[in-house]
Structure formats: C-alpha cells, structure tokens
Amino acid sequence: MDRLPKSGANYVPLTPLTFLTRASNSYATRTSIIYANVRFNWRQTYERCCRLASSLMSLNIVKNDVVSVLAPNVPAILEMHFAVPMAGAVLNAINTRLDSRNVALILKHSEAKIFFVDYEYIDKAKKAIEILMADFNMPIPLIVVIDDLDSPTGIRLGELEYEQLVHQGNPKYVLENIDDEWDPITLSYTSGTTSEPKGVVYSHRGAFLSTLSLILGWEMGTEPVYLWSLPMFHCNGWTFTWGIAARGGTNVCIRNTTAQEIYSNIALHNVTHMCAAPIVLSIILEAKPHEQCHIATPVQILVGGAPPPAPLLEKIERLGFHVVHAYGLTEATGPALVCEWQSKWNKLPWEHQAKLKARQGLGILTLADVDVKNFKTMESVPRDGKTTGEICLRGSSIMKGYLKNEKANSEVFKNGWFFTGDMGVIHPDGYLEIKDRCKDVIISGGENISSVEVESAIMKHPYVVEASVVAMPHPRWGESPCAFVILRKNSNFKESDIIAHCRKNLPGFMVPKKVQFVEELPKTGTGKVQKNHLRAVAKAFVIKENKNQTSKRSTQVSREKPRAYDQSHEQIQALSRL
C-alpha cells in the first residue's frame, strides 16, 4: 500500500484557484462583483482573471516572481488574488495606509517585478519609487495603473493600465499547473506593532485549508452577499477573497469604509456577511442619523483584531448585526480561532452572552492543534480559565515562514509549534480567551493585570468611544495601569469620573492610576493600537509626577517646567494629531 504513487486523478494539489474554476462552471450567471455601477458574473470574472494571467505571462512573469499591488477594495485587487497565482507568481497586497518609505521597503525586500497602483495612490507610489532608486539603488518594477472602472481618471504613472492588460489577454488561457501545493501563493507583510514589518509567506495548501475552515466555522451558506469592509490587503481579506467564489457569492466592493458606504450598500444589495476589526463596529455605532438605515435581516459580522469589549458587542447586536468573534494573525493566514456559538447559551442573560462572544473560541477545523503553553517548559496550562500561558498553533494553514528572515523564524517556531506572542487561558469547556499580548501585560505589585480586561471595563461607560490601557511605571508597585480614552463628542467628563467608573467595575489594583483623554489613538495600518507609543507617553507622566514631588520637597522651587513634562505634553499633542 505504501508504494502507491502520488499521481493521476487521485492526487491534485490543493489550491484556492479551483474555487474560481468551480464558480465559473457552477455559478456562471450569478453576480460575482458589484462595485458602484459595475457588475460582473462568475463567468466574466473567470475570463478576466484568465486574460490578466495571460498578460502577466507575456510580461515575462515566471514562477515565484512577486507581483505587488497598492489598491483599496476595488475589483482589480480581488481579481489579482486569482490571476497572479494563475500565472505562477506570488501576490503581494500592500497596506494602503503605509507611508511611501515603508512601501519602498516592501518593494525592495520582496523584489517585486510588477507594481500595480490604484489611481488614488499615485503620489504615494511615485515617492516610493523615488526612494527605491535614490536610497536603495534598486531596479524599478514595471508599473501598471489601475483606473476606476466607474470613472476613469486618465492618470498615468507608467506606460501600462490594468484594463488594457485584461483586454489584451487570452480568455482561454489555461492556468499554470500547481506542481507542489506548498508553493507560495501570497506574500503579506505584518503591520509591525512591535518591530519592523516581516514578509509572511502563505502556501497554496494553507490558503485552501484556511478558506474552507472559515466558511465552515462561520457557517456561511451558498450565495452570500459579502460587503468588503475589511481591507483585502489584510491577510488576503482573511481568505474571503477566495472564499466567496467557493460559495458562489457576490463581492460588494467599496472604496472607503465609512458609515455611509456600509449602511447604503447593506440596504441596496441585501448584504448578508461582512468582516471587520472592532474599529469598524465603532464606525457603525457612531453613524449619524441620516447615514443609518433599518436592517431588516441580520447581517453576519466576523470580528477579529483586539478582543471587542462586551459592551461594544451588545450595542452592535441591537442594531441588527450578529457578531461572531475570531482570533488570528498574519502568520496564521488570518483567523485561527472562531468563537462557535452554542444554542444553550441563548438562554443566558444578555450580558453573559456578550462576554461569551468576546472569547476567541476554538481552533479552526484545519488546524492540527491549538494550545496554551508555558514557552520555556512547553507544558500546557490547566483548563481553569485562570492560568495564563502563550497561545500556540500547529497545522498546514500556518505560514511557511518569514521571507529571508531565519532569525525571526527561529524565535516563533519551537518543537513544531508556532508561538503567537499572545497570552491566554483555556476555559473548562475548551474555549480559549486571549488576555493580552505578552508585552502588554501589566505587572503591578506582583499581580498580572490584563490590559484587555481594564479596557473592557472602561468601555462599559456609555460616553467612551475607545480606550487603550498600557503599563505606567509606579514608584511603589513597579507598574500601574494608564488609560488613554476617546470620549463621545461634546462630552464633559473628567479623569476622576472614569476612575470612579472603573472602581465600580474592577478590583482596586486594576483601576488606572492615570486617565488621559485623546482625540485619536496611534494605530498601525491594520487598525491595531501601537501600545509602544502609548507606553512612551505614560512613562513621561510618571517622570513628571516624580519631578513634581521632588520640587515640593525642595526648598528651592524652579520656575521652569520639568523637561519631562514638556516631552509628555508634546507627545500627547502628537497623539491628538495622528
């Protein structure tokens, strides 16, 4: 039996490209893409992808060449998720929120051969190319401009234009055979909350398995109408760039994720599904009366990113959205855990339900294993919902590794496990709950404080829009919580009001010693709060406090403000301008 060959009809390498072929055969006339006044069906989308793949081949793109794209959620970037790997190449979707220098760094590190640029990002791309030539002395990739299908601008950065390539290509193109399902399909760069961005390589096999897992875990049926509120550059849209084709669904593309766009498209196209970071939930909740519309049928939202506070979940569900929480990271091909709902929980009080929904849940079906371990001893923590350890994952859907970065690979892989850097617990029912990033745990007087728990308590305040909590040095306890809070507009609350609110909802040692109101929080391009920036500001608060105490004890009182105060004040002002 062990001598049977891996060949013939019984062995076909796994790849999400088969989802497109199936969609064109089985759902040919179903609407595949809606973008403003533009519509395609699945047969047309398949032919457009074939044409683009054919044109890429004619431009001397060969196996494993990197093709980069800088674009919002428009049809072109969705088509490229199929067309680029159909040509044997690797797609690199670049975060549109990065500055020109970081875009240039990605082009340099990835050695991109072609650079597709949406007309909206022409200026950013030009600066990136200038940096690539002047600072890095790198060859310029071939540049292709993506004009808006609905209203072409005529702007050109290079000689080629996207629709021109599609038009010139062969609609009968036969895709390159995937000889090895472990071949790379995409290259995604981490958002770099704590370090320099790293290039994460996905395989065809990993993308295929993750896509199936999320469809099953989310219980997505056939013919979904999916609103692209999640950037496609973020873990390839959590694999739904391929997944909607697998279900014969409709991709509703929007250029900007605003309350107006979200509500109007839900009403116009009867949207059934969407994905979002918690910030998108806040956008929905903060919508002005004229932007809102009645939601007749519940819209399923898969929420990832930081654990959404229970009060936020409660508010969003009352508007007509049904939330499923997931946990993942770029290195895990998007979501790796999904909080599968149990029918018996429907009988619980709403507040209890919201807390359950905020948990990260169970490993997706195609992960071999999920655990919470002590990194040093490799021992699993007890399933008591209290003992913390580091969340680790194992399976084919985990990245192949970081591109050209063996040092980083050796730091995250150990004994066949991928260690996420997130602290969590396992409850008796087997559901995981993230407690914090390893670097974000606050240690106060020997007690471990989860910044996530403190943030959740603050978010219970009806006038708080957003909150982030970090460690602040404390002369007695070592560290203490410091909260940065965004209030609703025209709110007139003081620091003491938020602290009093926290005392009602938290143990004394978890109550923030300092609350700073800000207009915005510093975030990465994917919406993650950059807590390292906040910690720098919080450190300055303490220096200020200590200097003030010193000045009171001194017989000589300086008329100058302590320098640390000035630094702290400047950093706070910088936060407000971000």
pLDDT, tens digit, for every residue of 143-153? 999 987 655 55
Segment 3-18 mean pLDDT: 77
Q: At residue 566, does pLDDT exceed 60? A: no
Q: Quote the tokens at residue 158.
A: 């290079």
For β-strands 66-70 and 417-426, DSSP reports them as unpaired
Predicted TM-score (pTM) of this structure: 0.78
pLDDT grade, residue 551 (50/70/90)? Answer: very low
Least confident among 173-187, 401-415, 445-459: 445-459
On whether the CB atoms of residues 438 and 390 are closer than 8 A, the answer is: yes
- Cα gap 363→336, rounded to integer Å: 6
| pLDDT value at residue 399 | 95
Helix runs in 172-304, H state only: 204-217, 235-238, 240-246, 259-269, 278-285
| pLDDT value at residue 314 | 79
pLDDT grade, residue 308 (50/70/90)? Answer: low
Phi, psi of 174 (to 5 degrees): -100, 125
| pLDDT value at residue 451 | 84
Buried b (16+ CB within 10 A) or exposed e, 326-357: bbbbbbbbbbbbbbebeeeeeeeeeeebbbbb
Q: At residue 104, does pLDDT exceed 70? A: yes
Q: At residue 4, does pLDDT exceed 80? A: no
Strand order of the β-sheet with 184-189 is 160-161, 142-146, 114-118, 66-70, 90-93, 184-189, 199-203, 401-402
Q: At residue 394, does pLDDT exceed 50? A: yes
Give tens-digit pLDDT for 47-86: 999 999 999 999 999 999 999 999 999 999 999 999 999 9
